[in-house]
Amino acid sequence: MQAILGKHFTFEASHQLPDAECYGKCSNLHGHRYELTVEMIGPIQSQGWVCDFAEIKAIVHRDIIAKLDHQHLNHFFPLPTAENIGTWIAQTLSNALAQSQYHLHKIKLYETATSYVEILANDLIELPKASQPETSTPKKAVAIFSGGMDSITLLCWLQRQGYRVWGVSFDYGQKHAKELAFAEYWGGKLCQEWQKIVLDFFPKIAQTSALTNSTLSMPYDHYTDANQKITVVPNRNMVMLSIATSWAENLGIQEVYFGPHSNDRAVYPDCRPEFVHAMSLATQLATYQHVIIQAPFAKMSKADIARLGHDLGVDFSKTWSCYEGRNLHCGKCATCQERKEAFAQAKIADPTIYE
């Protein structure tokens, strides 16, 4: 007996259709929260399932969500209608599953609450050229990285994706400025150009943050506890992204990357997907290049990033997390705790030397 098993995903993206006469208001720049259902078909196996959805989830996140989430879809599809996007998703998943024991039944892509497209895997033919994501050689990006394990994994991931990267790091008066030495190392190793930009005004205007106010003690509770708000540097990411966007516009580059992850959203408002989406819409409107903000790790955990970095061959001993900024990681502050947990959950040896 065959059974069908479905899994639901979401991603957010903007697009603009070309002809006002044909597409009406959709010819204006706008965004959608896309709802994607992936259905697999097959016999119920001895484990009691049709398929291992952990494997399917990983494929969807790697091949679909990481590429489309918080993107301007016109950079990928000449005509980004739901039909073309859905066809590409179905074809991509079908190709990814070709060597596995599992079989795609169909995908359903909701563009709004009342409109969707459904693509049956058995009806797929050769993917129309017009709906394939366009690639340019070489791909270019501006990347913000601090020297921490998340942003350095992002930098290595971009290189693996074939990007030429212009890197930027910020000295904003943080207590843990030691991270910038690691940023400089990776910038020199992997970037076409690396810049360190000094934002010396932050300690003057962000006196509520323990990261920039030397009189405030660093909390040692878990990273997601409410009192971690004392580590928030107000609106820091918007300022940094604005500067990186200016540089991207000057260089003629259309993508700016940074590395927030799902653990950040509990405490840091400017790491949340809704912020990334809004900021990307703003930068597209503010630039001739229609620069978009990319945060491909926004829905990944730190353990996921540790696993990805390990697979990419990242030398995590040459990254810095500790907020205390002493000679060694303190092992007690929230970021040190989270670093330890990420390696443990990922079942990867932690190369960090702690006090």
Lowest mean pLDDT among 37-41, 112-116, 149-153, 220-224: 220-224
Distance CA 267, CA 277 (A): 18
Count of CB atoms situated within 10 Å of the CB of 355: 12
Structural domain boundaries in the chain: 2-129, 139-346
How do 163-171 and 139-144 pair as beta strands?
Answer: parallel
pLDDT digits (tens, 9 = 90+) for 63-107: 899 989 988 888 888 789 999 999 999 988 988 887 666 788 899
Query: 138 preceded by cis ω (within 30°)?
Result: yes
Average pLDDT, the chain: 88
Q: CB–CB of 120/105 below 8 Å?
A: yes
CATH number of 139-346: 3.40.50.620
pLDDT tier at 310, thresholds 50, 70, 90: very high
In the structure encoding, which two tokens stand for residue 304, read together? 């996921």
What gap in Å lies between CA 76 and CA 74, rounded to an integer? 5
Q: Are 38 and 105 in contact (CB under 8 A)?
A: no
pLDDT in tens, 253-281: 999 999 999 877 778 888 888 888 889 88
Q: Which range has the top average pLDDT, 40-49, 128-137, 305-314?
A: 305-314
Residue type, 353: I
Assigned architecture for domain 2-129: 2-Layer Sandwich (3.30)
Report the chain's terminal Cα–Cα distance, integer Å: 59
Contacts of 165 (CB under 8 A, 6+ apart): 140, 141, 142, 143, 155, 158, 159, 190, 191, 192
